[in-house]
Amino acid sequence: MKTFHALAASLALILAAGSAHAGHVLVVLSDAGQLELKHGKTFATGFYLNELMQPVKLLLDAGHQVSFATPLGRAPTLDRGSIDPMYFGGDAAALRTHQTLLEKLALTSPETSPVMSLARVEQLGYDRFDAVYVPGGHAPMQDLLDSPALGRLLSDFHSKNKTTALVCHGPIALLSTLPQAHQFNTRLAQTGKASAPPDWIYAGYQVTVISNQEETIAKPQLKGGEMKFYPQTALEQAGVRYRSNTQPWTSNVVTDRELITGQNPASAVDVAKELLQRLK
């Protein structure tokens, strides 16, 4: 039954695209609904509503096709803390519009979600996708940072200079392309220091991600918990050239070759606009 609904939902998205020149964007989300913290604590999380749905709505409104995947093909989890008008410029109506679209797509429904696994994406072939987009929320810190399947997908996109867009905590997914991603992340969590090969595919790229400063400001969200490491630190130690905003929580988008990265929730729309330009 889930396969039938998934096919039906995918067909609906294809029909909605309408344009003969429409692009096909793969949105990759986390399977995780919680983040493991230091000292055995956990934090309930998932994807941020605006970071997923603002770009998805803009893509669909522009006539593009959108497909969704997670590493294991599980329905992703919405971070309930992101259901707040402040992430939509204080516009409660915009919040409701994006919530309604999320419900229509049924992404979070265990029974009818159109989400497929990254193994299925690989089976279908990466060439059918023109771009990939990875939204944030804390969830990517749990599984996207060392997913071998995601590492293969991003490596393929890199080799073909295909647009790869990520926002907030999403850019941590770039670490999945490290030759020993799990070992890198484990060492960083245990010692605070890790090193990556100098020929890592994203070494030297200008990249942004939620800053250490912003993580520190938002730390009360963790209710006394502490993250194993911050994504800015991780990406810097892996070899990127980090670029931050000058004022916390303001939009910041960095583009370097095929990569488009956004720093925080406020950057989601601007990342989407850059992605739309690339799809033209």
In this prediction, residue 15 carries a pLDDT of 42
For range 63-85, the mean pLDDT: 98
CA 131 to chain centre: 13
pLDDT band for 271, please (50, 70, 90 cuts). very high
**Pairing between β-strand 163-167 and β-strand 206-207 as defined by DSSP bridges:** unpaired
Q: What does each C-alpha distance from 229 to 147, 190, 234 come to in angstroms? A: 17, 9, 7
pLDDT at 6 over 70: no
Give kind and range of the element (H or E) at residue 90: none
Q: Which strands make up the sheet holding 253-256, listed edge to edge?
A: 116-117, 65-70, 24-28, 131-134, 163-167, 259-262, 253-256
Question: What mean pLDDT is predicted for residues 241-247?
Answer: 98
Q: Give the integer Cα–Cα distance in Å for 125 and 156.
A: 10
Residue 201: predicted pLDDT:
98
Q: Is the pLDDT of residue 108 over 90?
A: yes
Question: Per residue in 119-168, pLDDT tens?
Answer: 999 999 999 999 999 999 999 999 999 999 999 999 999 999 999 999 99
Whether the per-residue pLDDT at 7 is higher than 80: the answer is: no
Residues 6 or more apart from 5 whose CB is under 8 A from it? 106, 111, 112, 113, 114
User: Other CB atoms closer than 10 Å to residue 40's CB: what's the count?
Assistant: 7
To the nearest whole number, what is the mean pLDDT of the chain? 94
Token readout for 77 is 């989890």
Q: What's the pTM?
A: 0.93
Mean pLDDT of 262-276: 98
Does residue 170 carry a pLDDT above 50? yes
Percentage of the chain modeled with pLDDT above 70: 92
Task: Provide the token pair at 236.
Answer: 């810097």
What are 186-239's pLDDT values in tens digits? Answer: 999 999 999 999 999 999 999 999 999 999 999 999 999 999 999 999 999 999
DSSP assignment of 150-197, as one string? HHHHHHHHHHTT-EEEEETTGGGGGGGGSTTHHHHHHHHHHHS-----
Q: For the residues 160-181, what does the mean pLDDT come to?
A: 98
CA separation for the pair 178, 186 (Å, rounded):
13
